[in-house]
């Protein structure tokens, strides 16, 4: 913190980049404080509350986290059981964990780090429940960091990854906080206990939308780091004879290795641009919301949910492909890839479990489809839903951007229509609305993935057509954009072909194009990963080192293994030698018998 002040880092982006450089492979125990706790105080507190608490948060006099999930509920926020009951006599809220399942469970840094939490709890006043709201709760003594009386707090134990974060549990026993500790920007409880409801109950969910937007960038960061490691290693690693009797080939010269890695390289660039596009949309709509204009809130929610789920799913699958493309060394922590995977794969779950998030977007698409069928105007990003599905592709040998975007629009429009028609058919069969919905959710998930895929392809194409880029760079980026789009079609051909949108010749063109693009990109592959400019310190990888001295690094890494501190390990004296001695004694006995 002090170092950031010394260096003059003012913007949150610069501070986040510094934090990541300072702690490259472990998530910071203050990450939730900076990324969720302080921004939520700023966005969900009244101006007075923000003026009081935000400076304390930014100066780390108050260290906090976001405590919403419970043992029994994470996804279903309306089902949370922690209560906050207003006591007009004392002007306090009484926080309580009434059941075992209501114990707060998972909140990051609750176990040992923070002294405050933003707690999501069911608000009760004048005997009535008004749903979930956020409360600022001091959980540890500011003098000696001991747990406040009335609270039970602890660590939840080892996890798959996220080791830098002390995820904890927290139980409230009639724990009192001042009335003014309820974040009251949108909803209020007056001194007499009267409840003033917000313009939209989902404004309380704003912190999650913000983090989902951040996570899209995380998907880019983690996938691109794994791609850097795998591509650089593939340039250094020589294995087997490509030409009989010739020297061993760089594994990057095998077409299969290129087919594994180059589409992931293209995806990394596509996700970077998508994350930037998502952030711009978030900045615009969230500022509208803060000014009271909630019109585009549903569109923001739907896009943030969909992209968070789509990008983290694809990134995690891609990171695994990068690991496996490095052979045995990829499985070692020396590669740096297992840690990348372990830290990001949780993002498919936290901040909204991906399936649930996709279904939120699907719900929005379903409503938009109906509006489109009625001829109502649709937001620009959704207008493709009214695409004429009788039109066939005009794709030619050049695989133009226009024909590729048209293909993705057609695929998504067709799949949304199929899911919506199933939902409508279910209703006509007499199913209740919720059953008609549930019995169409599998096609809706597929349609929503197609919707997100379209957003990313269209965004990539739009940026290439709008930004002023030097011709050489534009040419290489166009190759990456075309590879991302053509590979996505080839890998999902059934969804593009189901209604005969492409003819057989066009399918052949696409299959030829994806292989030709691998050859086009091969000469620039290392330069394209170097362009991310990740320092070795950040990658923490013997395989992805900029200098390519992989074997020297692996040898030094291995020698530093703690197991090598002694030649003979204690297990020899404690277990192996006694076992061998026992065996030899029994052998002597059997020999005598
Ligand atoms: C740990 C340190 C790491 C480093 C951090 C550094 C920070 C620096 C910057 C950040 C950098 C990177 C980011 C990484 C951060 C890592 C953080 C990891 C910590 C994780 C934290 C958490 O997990 S917090 C808990 C998250 N929990 C959830 O997300 C729960 C998911 N569930 C929900 O959101 C809701 O239950 C759900 C939306 C599913 C349903 O809500 P419900 O109230 O039931 O509403 P519905 O009935 O479904 O719908 C009713 C209508 O409301 C609309 N709606 C719902 N939600 C919203 C919303 N958010 N906004 C707008 N509208 C919404 C919905 O669409 C319906 O509308 P309709 O018109 O009626 O259809
Ligand atoms: C690394 C990590 C860090 C975390 N940090 C925090 C934190 O700091 N603060 C915090 O409050 N929480 C945190 N969490 C908790 C996290 O937010 C929840 O785990 C997440 O929201 C998922 O909810 P759940 O665990 O209830 O999953 P569940 O919803 O129980 O998921 C189980 C299965 O049910 C399915 N499912 C659930 N609802 C539906 C539905 N309506 N339709 C179809 N399928 C459904 C899901 O798709 C999933 O397959 C963290 C979790 C992890 C893994």
Tell me the pLDDT tens digit for each residue of 157-184: 999 999 999 999 999 999 999 999 999 9
Q: What is the per-residue pLDDT for 374?
A: 96
pLDDT tops 90 at residue 5? no
Q: What is the per-residue pLDDT for 14?
A: 80
Ligand positioned closest to the Cα atom of 17: 1
Q: What is the per-residue pLDDT for 99?
A: 98
**DSSP H or E run through 310:** helix 297-324
pLDDT mean over 418-438: 97
Cβ contact 166:66 at 8 Å: no
**Angle at the Cα of 331 (from 342 to 218), degrees rounded to 5?**
30
What separation in Å is there between the alpha carbon of 440 and the centre of ligand 2? Answer: 22
pLDDT tops 70 at residue 588? no
Alpha carbon 11 to its chain's center: 22
69 is in an annotated binding site: yes
Rounded to whole angstroms, how far apart are CA atoms 496 and 389? 12
Q: Whose CA is nearest to atom 57 of ligand 1?
A: 202
CA atoms within 13 A on the CB side of 125: 25
Q: What is the per-residue pLDDT for 272?
A: 98
| Tens-digit pLDDT profile for residues 277-321 | 999 999 999 999 999 999 999 999 999 999 999 999 999 999 999
Domains annotated for the chain, with CATH where assigned, are 2-198 (2.40.110.10), 208-377+398-528 (1.20.140.10)
Q: Whose CA is nearest to atom 55 of ligand 1?
A: 202
The torsion angles phi and psi of 75, rounded to 5 degrees, stand at -65, -50
pLDDT mean over 19-26: 78
pLDDT tops 90 at residue 63? yes
- Say which residue, 554 or 24, is predicted with more confidence: 554
pLDDT tops 90 at residue 589? no
pLDDT tops 80 at residue 13? no
pLDDT tops 90 at residue 3? no
pLDDT tops 70 at residue 1? no
CA atoms within 13 A on the CB side of 141: 8
Percentage of residues in the chain with pLDDT exceeding 70?
99
Cβ contact 278:541 at 8 Å: no
Cβ contact 196:128 at 8 Å: no
| Tens-digit pLDDT profile for residues 353-399 | 999 999 999 999 999 999 999 999 999 999 999 999 999 999 999 99
pLDDT mean over 68-77: 98
Q: What is the per-residue pLDDT for 6?
A: 82
Cβ contact 351:36 at 8 Å: no
Q: Whose CA is nearest to atom 59 of ligand 1?
A: 205
Q: Average pLDDT of the chain? A: 96
Rounded to whole angstroms, how far apart are CA atoms 443 and 498? 14
Q: Which atom of ligand 1 is the closest one to the Cα of 367?
A: 71
Closest CA to 226 of 277, 259, 260: 260
* pLDDT category of residue 4 using cuts at 50, 70 and 90: confident
What separation in Å is there between the alpha carbon of 22 and the centre of ligand 1? Answer: 29
Report strand pairing: 151-155 vs 92-96. Answer: unpaired
Of 298, 343, 367, which is best to mutate to test ligand 1, by the most ligand atoms within 8 angstroms of its C-beta? Answer: 298
| Tens-digit pLDDT profile for residues 110-137 | 999 999 999 999 999 999 999 999 999 9
pLDDT mean over 1-14: 78
Long-range contacts formed by 212-215: CB under 8 A, 24+ apart: 212/304, 212/305, 212/307, 212/308, 212/351, 212/352, 212/357, 213/278, 213/279, 213/282, 213/304, 213/308, 214/35, 215/308, 215/311, 215/312, 215/347, 215/351
Tell whether the torsion through CA atoms of 173, 176, 179 and 184 is positive or negative.
negative
Ligand positioned closest to the Cα atom of 371: 1
pLDDT mean over 70-87: 98
pLDDT tops 70 at residue 508? yes
CA distances from 454 to 406, 409, 466 (A): 9, 6, 18
CA atoms within 13 A on the CB side of 533: 2
Question: Which of the residues are catalytic?
Answer: 351
Of 71, 102, 106, which is best to mutate to test ligand 2, by the most ligand atoms within 8 angstroms of its C-beta? Answer: 106
Q: What is the per-residue pLDDT for 590?
A: 60
pLDDT tops 90 at residue 16? no
Q: What is the per-residue pLDDT for 28?
A: 85
pLDDT tops 90 at residue 148? yes
Q: Is 68 close to ligand 1, i.e. is its CB under 6 Å away?
A: yes
Separation of first and last alpha carbons in the chain: 75
Rounded to whole angstroms, how far apart are CA atoms 176 and 174? 6
Of 104, 290, 301, which is best to mutate to test ligand 1, by the most ligand atoms within 8 angstroms of its C-beta? Answer: 301
Q: Which atom of ligand 2 is the closest one to the Cα of 359?
A: 42
What separation in Å is there between the alpha carbon of 206 and the centre of ligand 2? Answer: 17
Q: Is 168 close to ligand 1, i.e. is its CB under 6 Å away?
A: no
Q: How many Cβ atoms from other residues are within 10 Å of residue 330's Cβ?
A: 22
Q: What is the per-residue pLDDT for 8?
A: 84
* pLDDT category of residue 156 using cuts at 50, 70 and 90: very high
Report strand pairing: 248-250 vs 128-138. Answer: unpaired
Q: What is the per-residue pLDDT for 586?
A: 78
Instruction: State the DSSP code for 470.
Output: -
pLDDT tops 90 at residue 27? no
Rounded to whole angstroms, how far apart are CA atoms 389 and 376? 18
Q: What is the per-residue pLDDT for 592?
A: 61
CA distances from 223 to 121, 270, 306, 389, 411 (A): 36, 11, 18, 34, 26
Q: What is the per-residue pLDDT for 591?
A: 60
**Residues with C-beta less than 6 Å from any ligand 2 atom:** 32, 65-69, 73-75, 106-108, 162, 167, 346, 349-350, 352-353, 355-356, 359
- Say which residue, 27 or 165, is predicted with more confidence: 165
What separation in Å is there between the alpha carbon of 351 and the centre of ligand 1? Answer: 6
What ipTM describes this predicted complex? 0.96
Rounded to whole angstroms, how far apart are CA atoms 335 and 342? 13
Q: Is 166 close to ligand 1, i.e. is its CB under 6 Å away?
A: no
Cβ contact 150:144 at 8 Å: no
Cβ contact 341:316 at 8 Å: yes
């Amino acid at each position: 913190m002090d170092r950031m002040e010394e260096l003059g880092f003012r913007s949150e982006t610069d501070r986040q980049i510094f934090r990541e450089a300072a702690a490259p492979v472990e998530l910071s125990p203050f990450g939730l404080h900076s990324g969720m706790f302080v921004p939520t105080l700023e966005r969900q507190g009244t101006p007075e509350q923000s003026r009081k608490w935000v400076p304390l948060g930014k100066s780390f006099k108050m260290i906090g986290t976001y405590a919403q999930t419970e043992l029994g509920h994470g996804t279903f926020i309306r089902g949370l059981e922690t209560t906050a009951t207003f006591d007009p006599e004392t002007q306090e809220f009484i926080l309580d964990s009434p059941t075992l399942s209501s114990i707060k469970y998972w909140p990051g840094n609750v176990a040992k780090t923070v002294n405050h939490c933003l707690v999501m709890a069911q608000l009760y006043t004048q005997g009535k429940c008004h749903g979930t709201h956020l409360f600022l709760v001091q959980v540890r003594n500011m003098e000696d960091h001991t747990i406040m009386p009335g609270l039970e707090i602890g660590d939840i134990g080892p996890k798959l990854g996220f080791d830098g974060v002390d995820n904890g549990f927290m139980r409230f026993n009639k724990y009192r906080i001042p009335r003014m500790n309820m974040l009251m920007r949108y909803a209020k409880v007056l001194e007499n206990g009267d409840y003033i409801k917000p313009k939209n109950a989902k404004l309380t969910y704003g912190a999650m939308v913000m983090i989902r937007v951040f996570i899209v960038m995380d998907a880019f960061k983690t996938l691109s780091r794994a791609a850097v490691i795998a591509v650089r290693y593939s340039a250094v690693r020589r294995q087997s004879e490509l030409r009989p009797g010739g020297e061993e080939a760089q594994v990057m010269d095998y077409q299969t290795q290129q087919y594994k890695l180059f589409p992931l390289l293209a995806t990394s660039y596509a996700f970077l641009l998508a994350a930037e596009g998502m952030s711009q949309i978030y900045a615009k709509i969230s500022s509208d919301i803060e000014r009271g204009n909630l019109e585009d809130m549903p569109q923001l929610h739907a896009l943030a949910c969909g992209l968070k789920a789509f990008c983290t799913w694809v990134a995690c699958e891609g990171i695994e492909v990068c690991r496996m493309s490095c052979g045995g060394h990829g499985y070692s922590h020396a590669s740096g890839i297992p840690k990348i995977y372990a830290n990001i794969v949780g993002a498919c779950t936290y901040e909204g479990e991906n399936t649930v998030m996709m279904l939120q977007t699907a719900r929005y698409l379903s409503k938009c489809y109906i509006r489109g069928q009625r001829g109502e105007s649709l937001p620009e990003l959704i207008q493709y839903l009214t695409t004429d599905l009788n039109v066939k592709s005009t794709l030619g040998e050049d695989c133009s951007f226009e024909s590729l975007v048209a293909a993705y629009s057609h695929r998504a429009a067709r799949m949304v229509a199929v899911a919506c028609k199933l939902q409508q058919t279910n209703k006509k069969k007499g199913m209740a609305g919720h059953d008609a919905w549930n019995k169409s959710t599998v096609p809706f998930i597929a349609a929503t993935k197609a919707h997100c895929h379209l957003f990313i392809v269209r965004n990539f194409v739009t940026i290439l057509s709008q930004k002023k880029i030097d011709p050489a760079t534009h040419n290489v980026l166009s190759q990456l954009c075309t590879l991302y789009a053509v590979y996505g079609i080839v890998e999902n051909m059934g969804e593009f072909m189901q209604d005969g949108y492409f003819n057989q010749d066009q399918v052949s063109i696409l299959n030829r194009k994806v292989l030709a693009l691998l050859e086009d990109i091969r000469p620039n592959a290392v330069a394209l990963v170097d362009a991310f400019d990740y320092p070795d310190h950040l990658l923490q990888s013997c395989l992805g080192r900029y200098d390519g001295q992989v074997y020297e690094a692996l040898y030094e890494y291995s020698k530093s293994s703690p197991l090598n501190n002694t030649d003979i390990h204690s297990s020899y004296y404690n277990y192996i030698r006694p076992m061998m001695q026992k065996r030899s004694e029994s052998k002597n006995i059997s020999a005598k018998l």
